[in-house]
Amino acid sequence: MKYLCLLAGEPGSGPAPGTAEFQQMLADFGEATSAMAAAGVLVDSGPLQPPETATTVQVREGETLLMDGPFAEIKEQLGGYYVLDCADLDDAVRWVSRIPSAKYGSIEVRPVMVMDGRP
């Protein structure tokens, strides 16, 4: 089953860029991602640009409306994602717990819905 893992945290909650702790966090991300790839569970992953770069799209009465920034104003911000293909939720949680974001924020793990028999 595929799982979308959304990495969220409050701005400034992790190590500051340029510090040794930040470099270690990046190394930890690399190790976790490499381990997932080696185990064959990593489908995709990546960091996101800051929320102010977002564009929110809505269609109302046939008209496409664009808004700058994220749709929801929340304290935590999405910082990245992983898509994992795991046997079950327990397996996904074991892998996700290795992602450094879990130490500084939270990671939402959500099963991807299978539609029309597509994997």
- pLDDT of 37-88, one tens digit each? 999 999 999 999 988 898 889 999 999 999 887 766 677 889 999 999 999 9
Task: List phi, psi (to 5°) of 77.
Answer: -120, 145
Asked if the 2-111 domain carries CATH number 3.30.70.1060, the reply is: yes
* Separation between Cα atoms, residue 30 and residue 40, nearest integer Å: 15
- Quote the pLDDT of residue 36: 98
